[in-house]
Amino acid sequence: MNPPIFLVGPRGCGKTTVGTELARACDSQFVDTDHWLQENAGQSIAGIVENEGWESFRARETATLEAVTAPSTVIATGGGIILADYNRHFMREKGIVIYLCAPVATLVGRLEAFPEEGQRPALTAKPLSEEVSEVLAERDALYREAAHHVVDASAPPKEVVIQIITALRLACAS
């Protein structure tokens, strides 16, 4: 049985797209924690945050992480899942954590090109590029702390998958 693979990174880094491809390449299940949470809550993340607040959403996010963690599963996590110390340690202990790292310009370009995919409410009232830059500055160290491997997510999805598989093979060989 292969350990679960957790994909972490900010909105727009490609966790869902890369995760789907990676799961296919590794003959694994794929779960997106945001999608799973929304289906089980019967409302959008924005709705949960509006009705219950961020703290409740973060608690649901942790419960979702625990619920979907299983062998031979690629798990795309929400961008803020690493904010909780518990979640960072849980992912590191239960599986392999891959940080999909991309520059702010790449993230902003993707978020602007596919606005409907960012189902989360904005974290600030600032322009997108400023928000992404600030959020990444706050979270980059946490993503790195959680990660076993950091890959360049600015490449096309198939190339990112190859980078991940290569990193995993090298880790298994050493």
Q: What is the pLDDT of residues 92-118, one digit of tens each?
A: 999 999 999 999 999 988 888 876 654
13 is in an annotated binding site: yes
Judged against a pLDDT cut of 70, whether residue 123 lies above it is answered with: no
Q: What is the DSSP string of 51-94?
A: HH-HHHHHHHHHHHHHHH--TTEEEEPPTTGGGSHHHHHHHHHH
Which one-letter amino acid corresponds to residue 45?
I
Task: Please identify which residue in the block is written with the tokens 């949960």.
Answer: 48
Note the pTM of the prediction, 2 decimals: 0.91
**Does 62 count as an annotated binding residue?**
no
Rounded Cα distance, 85 and 90, in Å: 9
**Annotated binding residue 80:** no
Average pLDDT, the chain: 91
> Does the annotation list 34 as a binding residue?
yes
Q: Using one digit for the tens of pLDDT, what is the confidence trace for 35-53?
A: 999 999 999 998 999 999 9
24 labeled part of a ligand binding site: no
What is the SS3 assignment for 26? coil
Instruction: State the pLDDT at residue 127.
Output: 80
